[in-house]
Structure 1
Amino acid sequence: MKMTKNSRSTIKKGFNSIKLRDFMRYECRQRLRIGGEERFTVNAPDPLYRIDGAWFVCMDNHILPKKNECNVLSFGINIDPSFDMEMNKNFDCHVHSFDPLIEADFFKSIRNVNPKLSNGYVLNINKKWKFYSIGISDKSYGSMSDIAKGSFLSLGDILRLTGLDGKIIDIFKIDIEGDEKKVFHTLDVDYACKYFKQFMFETHKNFKFKELAKFEKCFRMFHRDGRLFMKDFIDTPTGTLTEFQNPGGFLLEIKDFRNEINLAEYLFPSVFKLTHLN
């Protein structure tokens, strides 16, 4: 494993020093972009451009998801299950997809074939892929016996529900529009260090770097996408340009930020991909 100079440097202890540095990094030799709508993917100028709905996975030997053996937990599908679909199809992973509020058309089409599937909170896509109409939070709301569509469970209860408690999670992906912070606040870092191999998430204005630094106990960042953007362009010759495809400009409401430090903390995180050190 090759670490950058930033990773090897001596960091002063204390709250103030955390604000003065970047997340420690791992130099992934082989990154693979997985998922994303094809019409956006084909317009990306290079394979390392971030496409909305796509995520980068490190494929270095010690960390790559092994076909037919890998487990994926994916929270926040919205309307695009392409990442989960590819992990299931191309890597033969056991995939557990979660979204309590939105059900993608792909999942709806499966329910429509069989009316008996219309009300269940869990949908079997195939032998190794399940979609759950439930969400993750800092705690469970209600009992396990009362789970229904729209329920929210703690990570611990979700691990028990999926049968993954105490098992290796090759990819833990979470994109839940700001509520990641609540989940991370109660996340047992020692558990994540023992069982999570790759950990990827979006952050929002409510995040501060000091709240993420705890993951450096065993994780290093191998990829990060900025979210500076001009605007979305509809029906352009190259298709819709998302903020990830057009990082040259930015559109921010400066009045939302108290000072320069608050602004810098927002610009820092965006989309993280962490890999386990061992």
Structure 2
Amino acid sequence: MAPIRSILASRAVITSLSLLCCLALFLYTIDIEPGFHKNTLNNDDHNVNNNEHNGNNNNLDVNSNLLMPSHELKGVDGDMVYHGRPKRSTRHILEQSEGFYKRILRQRKQWLAEQMFGTSFACPHDIQRVGPLSDGGKWICGMSLYTEEPRSKCVIYSFGVNFETRFEGEMLDRTDCEIWAYDASVTQMGPETRGRPGVLFKPYFVGDRDYVDNKGIQWRTLRSLMKENGHDWIDILKVDIEGSEYATFNSIMDDFDVLPFSQLQIELHVDTPHTTFGNFLTWWEKLEAKGLRPFWTEVNLHPAIKFATPWASEYCFINIRGEKNILLRDYE
């Protein structure tokens, strides 16, 4: 053993092994690296471009730009620039993202076999998380449109607040938005919003029809609430109604030709008591047909605190329709 140990420890052997490793790495880099991105991305682009309409000639550009570090996109004056490419309008980004989304839909059959859903649409503005990092926080598309001067007045509807109002509280702190909140499971909102101007709360449940149940609780539809409040558009619709979202949104989609909100923050309860996979798929495709596109998702891990299997997911949708949708406008 001693002779072997002395050979392995010799400087000549160590130096030779190091040189061999460097040579192998160099040869690997020459053989693989220059063609890897070119071949992979070009083939992918050609497949996409041959199948999409002329308005989506390069569906992956928008995603590569959005993922590019911000310091590489900043121009001399701080404006966002695309090296060697023209500036893109909000509509152009949405069209590219729509082309990419259609590509994903063509792969859905394989995903459905695994019962998987994901996001594949790009919000054309900044995305910021508002509220807690845990249950109750939401990812907002275009948050800077509401916070930066001049601020845009906005309307938020919040269905299902319980006492978790940190999202609503932060929106009040950072924006000039009004909040219209509804939840019959509580008699008042949490401390972050209680008694503050710009907040209206009523102990109603939101559902698929207007009625009073046998407990004396009022159930209202979104259409009835908007008519009562004098609103024709909602900027942010936040929904956490413990499984009632499916019937409620079927009613909403039947009541409106164009869904009357810019974006939707919703917790989807996907366990068997609330829906089956087949019903969920039909419901999801109905949302898509109405112009909703998912730009963010995360599993609600709150049940894991008690070592239970997570059974709810947070989804964020942008509406790609609506003349009053500020997310569809261009900004200097």
Q: TM-score under structure 2 normalisation?
A: 0.54
1:176 aligned counterpart, secondary structure: coil
Pair 1:135–1:27, CA change in 2 (3 A):
same
Matched, 1:55 2:138: yes
* Cα drift, residue 89 of structure 1: 2.6
* Cα drift, residue 274 of structure 1: 0.2
Q: Deviations over 1:247-275 (max 9, x none)?
A: xxx7339xxxxxxxxxxxx6xx7111001
- 2:317 matched residue in structure 1: 274
Q: Deviations over 1:158-181 (max 9, x none)?
A: 1122221xx221101110111111
In the alignment, is the contact (CA less than 8 A) between 1:99 and 1:133 conserved in 2?
yes
Pair 1:162–1:130, CA change in 2 (3 A):
same
Q: How does 1:159-178 map to 2 (within 5 A)?
A: 159-164=226-231, 167-178=232-243
Matched, 1:215 2:280: no
Pair 1:227–1:189, CA change in 2 (3 A):
same
Of residues 101, 119, 131 in structure 2, which corresponds to 1:35?
131
CA RMSD in angstroms, aligned pairs only: 3.5
Q: Deviations over 1:170-229 (max 9, x none)?
A: 101110111111201211268373521001111112241321221113121111011357
> Greater helix share, 1 or 2?
2
Matched, 1:200 2:200: no
Q: How does 1:1-278 map to 2 (within 5 A)?
A: 1=93, 2-3=96-97, 7-9=101-103, 11=105, 19=112, 22=117, 25-28=120-123, 30-36=126-132, 50-59=133-142, 64-65=145-146, 67-102=151-186, 103-106=188-191, 110=195, 125-126=196-197, 128-142=198-212, 150-164=217-231, 167-188=232-253, 191=256, 193-204=258-269, 205=271, 206-207=274-275, 208-217=280-289, 218-227=291-300, 231-232=304-305, 251-252=308-309, 270-277=313-320, 278=328
Pair 1:65–1:130, CA change in 2 (3 A):
same
Give unpaired runs (5+ residues) of structure 1.
Answer: 37-49, 111-124, 234-249, 254-265
* Cα drift, residue 276 of structure 1: 1.8
* Cα drift, residue 104 of structure 1: 3.4
1:193 aligned counterpart, secondary structure: coil
* Cα drift, residue 5 of structure 1: 7.3
2:246 aligned counterpart, secondary structure: helix
* Cα drift, residue 60 of structure 1: 7.3
Letter in 1 for 2:235: D
In the alignment, is the contact (CA less than 8 A) between 1:139 and 1:153 conserved in 2?
yes
2:171 aligned counterpart, secondary structure: helix
Letter in 1 for 2:300: R
CA distance in 1, matches of 2:295, 2:193: 35
In the alignment, is the contact (CA less than 8 A) between 1:23 and 1:220 conserved in 2?
no
Tell me how many residue pairs correspond in the alignment. Answer: 211
2:174 aligned counterpart, secondary structure: helix
Q: Deviations over 1:73-111 (max 9, x none)?
A: 01111111121122223111011011111233428964x
Q: Which has the larger radius of gyration?
A: 2
Give unpaired runs (5+ residues) of structure 2.
Answer: 1-92, 321-327
Percent of aligned positions that are identical: 21
CA distance in 1, matches of 2:180, 2:173: 13
CA distance in 1, matches of 2:141, 2:163: 25
CA distance in 1, matches of 2:217, 2:292: 32
Pair 1:150–1:170, CA change in 2 (3 A):
same
1:152 aligned counterpart, secondary structure: strand
CA distance in 2, matches of 1:149, 1:81: 25
CA distance in 2, matches of 1:52, 1:59: 21
Which protein has greater RCO, CA pairs closer than 8 Å, 6+ apart? 1
